[in-house]
Each structure stands twice: as C-alpha cells, then as structure tokens.
Amino acid sequence: MVPPRGDDFDEIRREYTEMLQTQLAKGNNGLKKTRYITFGIEAESYRVAKQRLERIELDILHNFKQLGVSAASLSGKERLQLMHGIFRMGSQEEAFRFDWKLLAASGLSTKDFVAPSSFEFREGRSFRMGKRFGAISFLSILAPELNDRMLADFLDMQSSLIVSMHIQSIDQNEAIKTIKRKITDLDKMKIEEQKKAVRSGYDMDIIPSDLATYGGEAKSLLKELQSRNERMFLVTFLIVNTGETKQQLENDAFQAAGIAQKYNCALVRLDFQQEQGLMSSLPLGNSLVPIQRSLTTSSTAIFVPFMSQELCQRGPEALYYGINPLSNNLIMVDRKLLKNPNGLILGTPGSGKSFAAKREMFIVFILTGDDMIVCDPEGEYAPLVSELHGQVIRIAPTSGERVNPMDIHANYCDGDNPIPLKINFLMSLFEIIVSPGTLTFGQKSVIEKAARTVYTRYFADRRADNMPTLTDLHAALIEIRDANPTYRDEDADNMAKAIDPYVHGAFNLFNHRTNVDVQNRLVCFDTKEAGSQLKTLAMHVIQDHVWGRVSANRAQKRATRYYIDEFHLLLKDEITAAYSAEIWKRFRKWGGIPTAITQNVKDLLNSKQAENIFENSDFILLLNQAPGDRAILAKLLNISPHQLSYVTHSGEGEGLIVYGDTILPFLDHFNKESRLYQVMTTKPGEADIC
C-alpha cells in the first residue's frame, strides 16, 4: 500500500498501488521460506567434535558464498527460537521469551521454553499440537529420474509446512562393495532362471524383465561410483503438513500427495510414527524414522532447495523493479541499502532504458522525499517531470530559461570556504572552452585571481541580484590585464578573449543569472537543442549544479538522485568523463545516488574512466544486449550463460537486475492503458497520446 499524502498525486499513487497488488497476486511474496542445514559427525569426544564441526562450518559457509547464497550460523538462542516457531506455526499469540540466566534460577530446561501448550498423538495418521492439526508423510521415490521442480512445487504450497531431508553419506568403499554384492546376487538369480528355462525347454536367454532391468541399473550405478566421482547417500524425505482444522489439514496433505504423484513418486503417511516424524523434522539432525532411500550425488543434489533467488525487501523505501519470471514474485529493493548505490541502466535502443529510469523516478517521487535531477540530451523526460510539477530547463539559444554557471552558496562544499572548489570548476570550464590540458600555470593563476575577486565581492553582500555572472568574471580578467600600466598581462588578456564569445557573442547562453526554480524537488535539464558547440559545456554546468545540490542536501540529510541519459556522450569528453568518475567515487558519502543510462557497453568502455564507474556501481539493470556487449558483460559481471539468455533477444522491459552480489531476471510490463504509462513512454505514436 502506498498511503495518500493529500497532494495532487494521490490519484497516481492509487493507480500504482493497484498495479502492485495485481502483480503481487501472481506470485507468493506473502510466503516466507527459510532454509536450515544441520550437520553432524561421529567423534570420540565433544572436544574433538567441536573442532571438526567448526572446520566443516567454515567450509559450508565458503561453499555457499561461492554459490552467491548468504548463510549465517545460528546461536543456541536462535535455534530455540526456531523450534518455538515450529511448534506454533501459523500463530502469533505467544512471543518467545528466553534468557540463559533463567534456567538455573527457575529449574526449567530449554524444552520448557519451546514446547507448545499440548501434544496429542492418539490418532495413528495425524497429531495435534496446541490448537493446530498436523500430519507427517515420507516421500517414496519411485521415479527412475528426478526433477528439480518437485521440491519447488512443495515449497510453493500456500500453507504452513516443513520439508525435511536427512542425508547420510556412505563410505565409498562400502558402497561399492554393497553394489557388487547386489550384482552378484542378481547374477545368481539370473543363472537360476536360466537353469529353469533349460529344464522347461525354453530359450535360456528369456529371463524376467525386472531381473534384466535391475541388473543393468546396478552395473550402471557401479560405473558411476567408480569412474564418475559419484557417491552414495541414504536419504529420508519428510513433509509435515499443518492446518487450523482437520479438513484443511487433509486438503493440504492431498495437494502435497498430488505434487508427488505428478513426478512419479508417492507421499505415504507415517502411520503410528507421527511423533517420531515430528521430532525428526526439527532442525536437530536426529532422524527417528528408519525409512531410507539410496541415492547418488546427482540425484541427491536435485533436492538442493535453491531453484531461484528472490529479491523482495520490505523497507519503507523499497522500490518496484518488476517481477521474477522464475517465481512470479515481486522484485522490491532499496538502493540505499547497498554498500554503493550508484547504478547503470544498459540496453539496446528500444529495450526500455528510458522507461526503466522514469519508472524508478516516479516511484522515488511518490514514496520518498529524495530530490532528483535529470540530464536529458534527447528531450524525453519533460512529460513526466511536468506531470510531477517539476522544473524543466531547456538549455538552448532560443529558450528563455537560464542557469548561471557562476552560482555559489555556503553549502557548496564540506568546509567553511566554498570558493576554492568553485574555482576548480571554473578552471575545467575554461579548459573546455580553450582545449583540455592546454592551460598554462599563468593562465590558471589569473583565472583563480579573477574568480576570488568576484566571489569575495559577492560574499561581502549576499543578495540574489548580486550573484556574479560571466560578465563579472570577464571584467575581473580585464582589470587584471590593465592593472599594471607598464605592460599588459597576456594570460589575463587571452583568458578574457577566450570567454568573450560566451559573454558578448553568440554563445552567451550562460551569461545570465538563474531565472528558473533550480531548487525544485525534480529538475530536468533538457540539452537537446543546445547545439554541438555548447552541449559539452552545458553538461559540465549541469554536473556542477548537481554537485552543489548534493552538497546542500547533505546538510539537510536528504538524498539526491542524479539520472544521466545517453551517458556515453559525457564520456567522449575527457573533462566531463573525469568529472563523472569523480561523482561515482564520492557521491555515496554525500548522499548522492547517480544513475547512468546508455546503449553500447563497448562504446562505454572506450573511456578510461568507465572501469572506475563499473567498479563503483552495485546496481545495474541489464536489458536486451547486442552480441558483442553480452560477452563483455558476462566477463565483467560474472554472468552465467543461462542468465545471459535473459538479455538475448529479450523484449521490452525484460532483462537482468544486478543488486550487489545478486543477479536475477526480471519482467517489467506496465499496463499501457494507465495514465502513468502514457506519461512515461517514449515510443513514437504512444507518446503522442499524452
């Protein structure tokens, strides 16, 4: 639910809420699935066992880390809390209250703190635990081949249940000896059948089909154990179904049995062993049910419960990014929770890059209090910004909207004196005008002197109509040039001539005081009509404004999100590329969250700064990718061939989301009839509707 705020956007919030609820109904986000592993060994003493168990624990955690699965050890209190919850499934009435100090003082045991109000095992096929009914069944594995979807289907049941697997490894030599004995027994039975056939006058090659089948399977199993690095395991597979009523319990058990039958297996009720089955389903690693099935490594691995990863955070600022096509569950994440929230949106033209950025901007606007700034080289974001009452600033000679590159305020930097940082910006501005890397020490000196002069005058009288412009900087350079009557300062003269076209000439677009609301919560800089001569300069001015806004917001503890479309244009210029890399390195500490939107990764990586930008981006949306880009991304982000298929010839709004170490596919299909879609789309024909 997105609560209304009593402003002009409650209707859009309502539409967004309805969309979320529709998507939520497709999956099982309402179900919480938790996976536990209990491992144990046989040892001479507790001391010896503890050392070995700690080594095994480190090994298991390392293996999970390699799988990309987060895992953590449970403390003794956490294990007790887990069992407390198991004994009270579906009930929130009784909270877990426990402290180790209470044991000695009260004379109670840990069992007293976790046990339910009552147990009843009088019936052979079910039991009662507190107010809840339960039944335990074991999986009889009859299928010659197992499917990894079976466990996922059990876990997708919309009821409270426990799935337990007890897996015990068999010594390799002992397993091989056992299989050889079985083969010997089968060969003996085969010989007996052949003797019977000869005595009866039949062909000795005619033997029972079961005997022939079992003999072939036993020899195949022996080959796997001896030459294919397979091992043997004894597996006990238990399912605990629960329900508030007896009828609900039977319905859930019937559904579970249907799932097993679908995969050529059978779910058999543990008659008169319900208590043993329940105790075996606790995460204690103790199996009291003597029903085991021998399986090889590959067959056992089918039951590893990691069919798909989910990404659904519940925080107040978790944003919607689509649904997981593997489970139909919502993908909801908060980028602020990442170590580095910087982001990239990558995809071929028409794959939905701009739409993905707008969708995030819209949700940020209605859910959070963050400020947003957009650098829009193609003029695509104005409809959405206007719809949200933001400020669109068209940087063009024909536009009357002006932004002053000389703007400065007290919060422009960390320290008490913002002038040095502003001078650094003006130096790079002159380099863009003259030529990157060509400013001499003398020229830099006069720029600094002129800038200090105009800003010192401003801070002496901080009025809006006293904010300096390029005209003031030009005049200060002329003053330095003519300060000595015996000679003209050539460096000051050259710098004054360099910016003269931007002060008095055809490029005087930035020689005006700011006349638009740059403090609006949502500001879009449209540089589509800036012209080739001014576009690089315009982007640099925008980046300086963004930096100033982030600095000011930092003092107010407010986040600032910066979206840069057609990001490859910034990387073409050495100065704006270096400035962008600086943003990706430092914005996080200042509460800034930049997001770059671009097409070809190959073009992006032509810049020396792109590697720093990639390394400092923990959030990446990958839409459809060109063949050459797919290979680069697979190497850079360690994407598997199967995951890569989701960005190969994928449709609009389909791809992969990279959130920290998590990579999973997503689908983001919006209702094209909604008002929101009409505002965000940039498709020819569709955009005209709004």
Q: What is the pLDDT of residues 370-404, one digit of tens each?
A: 999 999 988 889 888 988 899 999 998 888 888 88
DSSP 664-681: EEEE----TTSHHHHHH-
Read off the pLDDT of each residue in 209-225 and give the average, rounded to a whole number: 78
CA-CA distance, 169 to 300, in Å (whole number)?
A: 11
Residue carrying structure tokens 């209090």: 369
Domain 404-513: give its CATH code.
Answer: 1.10.8.730
The packing angle between helices 532-555 and 574-586, to 10°, is 20
Q: Which residues pair with 658 in a beta bridge?
A: 620, 663
CATH architecture of 340-399+515-690: 3-Layer(aba) Sandwich (3.40)
Residue 92: band (very low, low, confident or very high) from pLDDT cuts 50, 70, 90: low
SS (H, E, C) 556-575: CCCCEEEEECCCHHHHHCHH
Find all residues with CB under 8 Å of 104, minimum gap 6, and list them.
Answer: none
Q: What is the DSSP letter of 312?
A: B
Pairing mode of beta strands 560-564, 371-376: parallel
Name the region of 528 (left: φ>0; alpha: ψ -120 to 50; beta: rest): alpha
Neighbouring C-beta atoms of residue 505, cutoff 10 Å: 10
Judge residue 646's burial from the number of C-beta atoms within 10 Å of its C-beta, 0-12 exposed, 13-18 middle, 19 or more buried: buried
Percent of the chain with pLDDT over 90: 31
Q: Residue 396, CB half-sphere, CA atoms under 13 Å: how many?
A: 13
The CA distance from 132 to 92, in Å, is 13
Domain boundary assignment for the chain: 340-399+515-690, 404-513
Other residues' Cβ atoms within 10 Å of the Cβ of residue 518: 17
Report how far residue 257's alpha carbon sits from residue 265's, in angstroms, rounded to the nearest whole number: 9
3-state per-residue secondary structure call for 31-74: CCCCCCCCCCCCCCCHHHHHHHHHHHHHHHHHHHHHHCCCCCCC
The predicted structure's pLDDT at residue 687: 46
Confirm if 274 and 181 have CB atoms less than 8 A apart. Answer: no
The CA R_g of the chain, rounded to the nearest whole Å, is 35
Tokens of 169: 């490894």
Report whether 83 contacts 114 (CB < 8 A).
yes
Q: Is 596 helix (H, G, I), strand (E, B) or coil?
A: strand
Instruction: Report d(CA 283, CA 122) in Å as an integer.
Output: 24
pLDDT greater at residue 600 or residue 655:
655
Strand pairing class (371-376; 522-526): parallel
Mean pLDDT of 45-67: 91
Sequence-separated (6 or more) residues with CB below 8 Å from residue 451: 419, 422, 423, 426, 473, 476
Confidence label for 690 from pLDDT (cuts 50, 70 and 90):
very low
Say which DSSP state 439 is in: -
Q: Per the structure block, which two tokens stand in for 448?
A: 């600094």
310-338: average pLDDT:
87
For residue 279, pLDDT over 90 is answered with yes
37-41, 340-344, 506-510, 599-603: the lowest-pLDDT one: 599-603
Closest to 564 (Cα-Cα) out of 586, 585, 540, 588:
540
pTM: predicted TM-score of the whole model, two decimal places? 0.74
DSSP secondary structure code for residue 436 in this structure: T
**Between residues 196 and 204, which one has the greater pLDDT?**
196
Question: Which residues, 6 or more positions from 529, have their beta carbon under 8 angstroms from its beta carbon?
Answer: 379, 394, 395, 396, 397, 398, 399
CB 245 within 8 A of CB 133: yes
CB 241 within 8 A of CB 249: yes
Burial of 119 (0-12, 13-18, 19+ CB in 10 A): middle
The confidence score (pLDDT) of residue 357 equals 92
pLDDT band at 653 (very low <50, low <70, confident <90, very high): confident
Q: How far apart are CA 81 and CA 104, in angstroms?
A: 19
Place of tokens 């000389």: 406
Instruction: Report the C-alpha gap between 310 and 289 in whole angstroms.
Output: 33
Give the Cα separation of 639 and 346 in Å (integer): 15
The two three-digit tokens of residue 557, written as one number: 């503890």
**3-class secondary-structure state, position 240:** strand
Higher-confidence residue of 577 and 345: namely: 345
- Answer for the pair 594, 335: CB distance below 8 angstroms, yes or no: no
353-367 and 10-24 helices cross at what angle (nearest 10)? 110
In angstroms, how far apart are the furthest CA atoms of the chain? 133
What does the pLDDT look like over 127-174, one tens digit per residue?
999 889 999 999 998 887 788 888 888 888 888 899 999 999 988 888
Residue 682 has pLDDT above 70, yes or no: no
pLDDT at 273: 94
User: Is residue 415 pLDDT above 80, yes or no?
Assistant: no
Instruction: Name, in order, each residue with C-beta under 8 angstroms of 473's C-beta and a sequence gap of 6 or more.
Output: 406, 426, 450, 451, 454, 499
Cα–Cα distance, 577 to 581 (Å, whole number)? 6
What's the CA gap between 216 and 223, in Å, rounded? 11
Asked if 671 and 375 touch (Cβ cutoff 8 Å), the reply is: no
| Cβ neighbours around 563 below 10 Å, total | 25
C-alpha to C-alpha distance for 371 and 590, rounded to whole angstroms: 13
The lowest-confidence range among 215-219, 228-232, 237-241, 527-531 is 215-219
